[in-house]
Amino acid sequence: VERLLLGKYNVRNLDSLFNPKTVAVIGAGTNLNKVGGQAILHLIMGKYQGNLYPVNPKGGTVLNHEIIPSLKQIPGDIDLAILAIPQSLIFSAVEECMEENVKFLIIHTAGFQETAAFDGKWSTIEGEFKRLLNKNRNTRIVGPNCMGIASTSSNLNALMGINLIPSGKDGLNLSVASQSGSAAAISMRAAIKHDLGISRVVSTGNELDLNLEDFLEYFGLYDDTTQVIGLFIEQLRKGPEFLRITSEIKKPIIVIKAGKTDAGAKASLSHTGSLSSSSKLYGSVFKQAGVIEVNSLPELVDFARAFAIYMKMNIMPKGKRVGIYTVGGGAGVLTTDRCAEQGLDVVPLSEDTKAKLDKLLPSIWSHINPIDLIATRDFTTTEKVLKIMINAEEFDMIIPIIPLGIDLQMGKLETIEGIPPTIEEFNKKMLKAYHKSLMDHLLKLVKVSKKPIIVPCPIYSTDMPFQYDDISTLYNAGVCVVNNVDMTTRILAKLYDFVDRQERKKNRELSIGT
């Protein structure tokens, strides 16, 4: 903390890191398959528009950029230097950067604290690093042993080995700080390929200088381009700081904690050189901090997107009363189970709703919530029922179990001898028309809904390449689609918890104020 407050570039001022005007790549080379060449390739492919200087005493040219022998040749301030060099050269390079007053360094190079357990060199290296850090307190370091950063506002892709264009979506941006490099990269790819925007991504590595808490504070309090924060945590080095920062942040913070079990903590020690504490301790810290814990990266993206969409549309749930629509009883029962497990109330239907549905539906409908139409392919009725549900006062949120993507699931029909091809064609066309009708009715509905609607749809997952335009259309209209019912109910429960917590916080602040 001391160092952070002393340096010019404290967390309130990480702008030069995320919007660097001048970037140097130390260890740049002509071979695009090696880290040093690839760094240049990915910066250019990522559309970085600032001044880019490949640096290597060996010289040469890479992608029309002349490789200069030394930092000293660079005119003006250097905001960011990326170090893609072997471990043996790191210290002299860092010293050179400090002499040139480079503002931020990213050190990809591994072989530091994470090797302490099995080689004897770490204590020597650590001493040397600490001495260096204090040499110029205005040079701040990301890493070592990190994959780097990406930042949409400057089209900066400085993530080692990752070929992506950072891209945001207006008011729908996730920023990620991760103690795992691959987690940073995977969450960024999933977000930008699945209709969530990315503002910043940082892989923090060994955190010998800047750490996860610093980036959390920046994203949460000083970075307007970030709407939702994602954290991949192996170890919190500054627990009390974490609690102080989270208490000030009003944005949703979604957390993956790796190393929750003793066995996992041991594995984490080897990976980042940090020893995770017990699951229980973290559980209570997270609860106190009001962060949202998830178990995997696809979940992180699904949760982040739901928060981003419903916050932007200003239709966060006002309670936890769920209305379920289904055309299959088994699915309705399983959905009710998952709701109950998440503390959501599958409330009874009001007399008013019952009367409206009785008027609309044949007598066989379930007469309770879940509203079960038994089996229908008539989406005009579906739309009417869902409209009754979004207007019903007894519901705060809606889960429609509908066969979204059924044309894709069922589309490939077998050719059978003796069956005229027209029947198969008819079936295929029917499925397509059926799906289009479902989409049309759903989109009409969403426009008037003041409640969050989440659709569980087994053919969609952020794990997958994004193939289905319909789902993108739904996102843009303000309907979340997630892979399964479990995820649907977990997200809805957390949306409400977040609203409830913010509300109580506000009331406390008001009562203190008076």
Q: Which 165-184 positions form the footprint of a copy of itself (CB under 8 A)?
A: 165, 178-183
Toward a copy of itself, which CB reaches closer, 133 or 291?
291
Q: Does 333 bind a copy of itself (CB under 8 A)?
A: yes
Q: Is 459 in the site for a copy of itself (CB under 8 A)?
A: yes
**Using the rule CB under 8 A, is 1 a contact of a copy of itself?**
no
How far out from the chain centre does Cα 365 lie?
40
**Residue partners of 190: CB distance under 8 A and separation at least 6:** 196, 297, 298, 301, 462, 463
237 touching a copy of itself, by CB under 8 A: no
| Contact in structure between 346 and 336 (CB atoms under 8 Å) | yes
- C-alpha distances (whole Å) from 378 to each of 210, 330, 388, 431, 438 are 57, 20, 16, 12, 9
350-379 residues near a copy of itself, rule: CB under 8 A: 363-364, 366-370, 372, 374-375
Q: Single out the segment in contact with a copy of itself by CB under 8 A; choices: 124-132, 240-248, 462-470, 501-509.
A: 462-470
Among 339, 357, 471, 491, contact with a copy of itself (rule: CB under 8 A): 339
Compose the 418-457 pattern: x for residues touching a copy of itself by CB under 8 A, - for all others.
xx---x---x------------------------------
Interface segment toward a copy of itself; rule CB under 8 A; list 8-16, 39-47, 94-102, 494-502: 39-47
End-to-end CA gap in the chain: 34
Are 229 and 252 contacting, i.e. CB atoms less than 8 angstroms apart?
Answer: yes
Q: Which is nearer to a copy of itself, 5 or 118 (CB)?
A: 118
CA–CA separation, 260 and 281 (whole Å): 10
Question: Is residue 47 a contact residue for a copy of itself (CB under 8 A)?
Answer: yes
Minimum CB distance to a copy of itself, residue 207 (Å) = 14
Q: Please tell me the count of residues contacting a copy of itself according to CB under 8 A.
A: 89
- Farthest-apart Cα atoms in the chain, separation: 84
Stretch that binds a copy of itself, among 69-77, 251-259, 281-289, 387-395 (CB under 8 A): 251-259
Bridge partners (DSSP) listed for residue 330: none
* Contacts of residue 498, Cβ cutoff 8 Å, sequence gap at least 6: 252, 290, 292, 307, 316
Minimal CA–CA distance to 166: which of 56, 42, 303, 64?
A: 42
State the Cα–Cα distance between residues 478 and 308, nearest whole angstrom.
10
Binding to a copy of itself, residues 130-159 (CB under 8 A):
none
Residue with smaller CB distance to a copy of itself, 101 or 296:
296
- The yes or no reply on residue 469 touching a copy of itself (CB under 8 A) is no
* 5 near a copy of itself (CB under 8 A): no
Stretch that binds a copy of itself, among 53-61, 123-131, 460-468, 493-501 (CB under 8 A): 460-468
Q: At residue 271, what is the residue type?
A: H
To a copy of itself, the closest distance from the beta carbon of 52 in angstroms equals 12
Euclidean distance between CA atoms 108 and 83, whole angstroms: 6
Enumerate residues 6+ apart whose C-beta is below 8 A from 204. Answer: 142, 143, 146, 177, 178, 179, 210, 211, 212, 215
Name which position in 61, 73, 138, 163 contacts a copy of itself (CB under 8 A): 163
Q: How far is the CB of 279 from a copy of itself (least distance, A)?
A: 9
C-alpha span between 258 and 195 (Å, rounded): 26
Q: Segment 70-129, which members bind a copy of itself (CB under 8 A)?
A: 110-111, 114-115, 117-119
Q: Is 473 in the site for a copy of itself (CB under 8 A)?
A: no
Kindly state whether residue 414 participates in binding a copy of itself, applying the rule CB under 8 A. Answer: yes
Question: Nearest approach, Cβ of 308 to a copy of itself (angstroms)?
Answer: 22
Binding of residue 296 to a copy of itself (CB under 8 A): yes
Q: How far apart are CA 477 and CA 442, in angstroms?
A: 10
Give the Cα separation of 185 and 79 in Å (integer): 23
List Cβ neighbours of 306 (8 Å cut-off, separation of 6 or more): 452, 454, 480, 482, 491, 495
Q: Rounded to the nearest 5°, which phi and psi values hold at 422?
A: -60, -30
| Helix, coil or strand: residue 75 | coil
406 sits near a copy of itself (criterion: CB under 8 A): no
Task: Looking at residues 255 to 294 of the shown chain, list those that interact with a copy of itself (rule: CB under 8 A).
Answer: 256, 258-264, 266-268, 270-272
CB-nearer residue toward a copy of itself: 103 or 356: 356
